A and B are shown apart, each in its own frame.
Chain A
Amino acid sequence: MAMLTVEDLKIYYSTPLGHVKAVDGVSFEVKEGEVFGIAGESGCGKSTLVHSLILRKPPMVHMGGRALFKGKDLMTLSPEESKKIRYTELSIIPQYAMNALNPTKKIKDIVWDLAKEHGYTDREEVEKLLRERLSMVKLSPKVADMYPVELSGGMRQRATMVVSTLLNPDLLIADEVTSALDVTTQRVVIELLHHFMKEGIVKSIIFVTHDLALLDKIADRVMILYAGKVVEIGSTEEVINNPAHPYTRLLINSLPRMGVQYKKQKLKGIPGYPISLLNPPKGCRFYTRCPYALDKCPSEEPKLVKVGNEHYAACHLLGGESQ
């Protein structure tokens, strides 16, 4: 069953120079019981996409498409309705988790404000749960009595994660939650997400990250975005072991493998610059950097085509004819 169905979603930013087309016709589905990964270049629209599901405020504008969450279109909810389901049904751990927490309040007070707002009455119970969850992410229960500024970057990231999941949301969106964590703490966080899923505390997770190795560990399916468009989507194993789109292939190739040193062998990223989202090319958005670009790539947009079992990619090399 689908927990979330996103159809041809367009989320732009309106600026004096025109629309920044940060999410431009994106479709995907997150099933119940699944961890859905999203990866892609810095600035390609990942945070825009996930934030638009929760809170759209100017200059962010919804230009089209739907996002059905448990039968309701998130794009048409009123601010009050959005607020009501936030934390209890749909919750996000934002990318700026490190300073998402009110700096003038202790962690336990932040949590209590939030719980109160959602109708909880027993403060002791809530704090007990908070301390329990803190220790699950290897934080001392004392952190409940501390202010966000007293915590290190990674500690704050984990504290925010605990706050965002305390009220057991059905769908949890995690935007770069492990980016500032060392390998062992990353593992703790991933174990915790796994635990939430196993116990049914959280039913589905959208996991946004740059870390493909980590996606490989936790995500059932992944979606690769490039400049506001889906370039590839499929089961994690397929996409990582058998990438079809040139961008995905180049991205996977630029992962530094243990044992390579700058002094001896210089690795190379993908040459060229990301395109401007104000005036994206009509055709494939990757053509300016693609080593395989064909004559029609600049002008014709490739459609997603099936390249394997539940595995799709949008590239003319794969026969993505426009209809």
Chain B
Amino acid sequence: MSELLKVEHLTKIFTSGFIGGFEIRAVDDVSFTIKKGEIVSLVGESGSGKTTIGKLILRLIQPTSGRILFEGKDILQMSKKELRENYYRQVQAVFQDPFASFNPLHPVDRAFDLISESYLTDVSRDERKELVRDALRQIGLNPDEVLGKFPHQLSGGQLQRILIARALLLKPKLLIADEIVSMLDASTRIDVLNLLGDFRDKYGTSVLFVTHDLALGYYISDTTIIMYRGTIVEMGDTEKVFQNPLHPYTRMLLESVPDLNVKWEFKGIEPEKEEGTVYSLQGCRYAPRCPRATRLCFVRRPELIEFEKNHWVACHFYY
């Protein structure tokens, strides 16, 4: 499989507030690649930088530093025209919050019109209509139930699926899918995942599948990337990461998956320790929570190393 997208030393620092503001290192020196036809899941705690990575790849925000190469071309060097005419035709995204992705003043059909007017110019109107209806049916929606409706007239899961249908309409080379099944019931979820898999098999679409649900990531993805506070702590072949998790954070994540019939013991809440210190930490971001941390962990950032073939980890324990 050849490389489709290559992210190199990507960093994004946000500043909050003007005077006396503070910096948030949302993405901190992140590198990874997505091959053609590969489904990569991106997993990590809330606030770890997953959506930010998606937005950077779509050039909705500018990185502080680093490069993003799509088929070998640096997307940061692309002109507006090139982005519009070429890049966005091949790279589509569905973002986390379906309610915010629609214009509340227009029926949801408009989302399809905009995209087909710009990109499906060689297709006749009637054909376009049929394409849209097909796309909706594929994703388990009844076109008559959703077309012509305004966003507030649809449920969260219905909106989420309309966005997926729209993104797939162009048969993109890369789909950024940010928590796209979070508002769907178990049965619909499986249908949508199977659709992504089928789509990949048929059209070779690569997918960056952002998810908090480890079982779903395991089900659908070839490669898994685990993030913690802006950094990649572990990545590689999905089976290896799940069967032989190396990083203490990954292990903790896998142990906390809620399973039916396993009762939880309520431990009570411990208020969060000051976060700022973690973001400015010299060493491993996970050190303050890590049961294995040594002195070294607090002062030196561990690099990602290839522990076994196609399985990388950033933890001093494995040097």
Contact = CB atoms under 8 A, between A and B. Distances in A.
A194 interface: yes
Contacts of B252: 184
A96 B190 contact: no
B112 interface: no
B253 A184 contact: yes
Nearest to A278: B145
Contacts of B190: 254, 256, 267-269
Interface string A163-200: 00000000000001001111111111011101100000
Contacts of A154: 46-47, 212
Given A212-B260, A216-B261, A269-B191, A150 B14 contact: yes
B182 A180 contact: yes
Given A140-B274, A262-B194, A186 B258 contact: yes
Contact of A135 (B215, B218, B260, B271): B271
A274 B140 CA distance: 8
Interface stretch (B63-71, B116-124, B155-163, B292-300): B155-163
Contacts of B220: 261-262
Contacts of A214: 258
Contacts of B17: 145-146
Interface size class of B (residues with CB under 8 A): 35 or more
A256 B46 contact: no
B22 A152 contact: no
B202 interface: no
B47 A152 contact: yes
Contacts of B267: 191
B260 A42 contact: no
Given A153-B97, A195-B269, A269-B187, A140 B258 contact: no
Contacts, number: 205
Contacts of A182: 43-46, 212, 253
Interface size class of A (residues with CB under 8 A): 35 or more
Contact of A274 (B142, B156, B256, B268): B142
Interface of B: 14, 16-17, 22, 43-47, 50-52, 96-97, 99-100, 140-142, 144-145, 153-158, 161, 179, 182-191, 193-194, 197, 212, 214-216, 218-220, 238-239, 252-253, 256-261, 263-264, 266-269, 271-272, 274-276
12 contacts: A43-B158, A95-B183, A140-B274, A140-B275, A158-B46, A180-B179, A191-B268, A191-B269, A255-B186, A260-B219, A261-B220, A269-B140
Interface of A: 13, 15, 39-43, 47, 59, 95-96, 98-99, 132, 135-136, 138-140, 142, 145-146, 150-155, 157-158, 176, 179-188, 190-192, 194-195, 210-214, 216-217, 240-241, 250-252, 254-262, 266-270, 273-274, 276-277
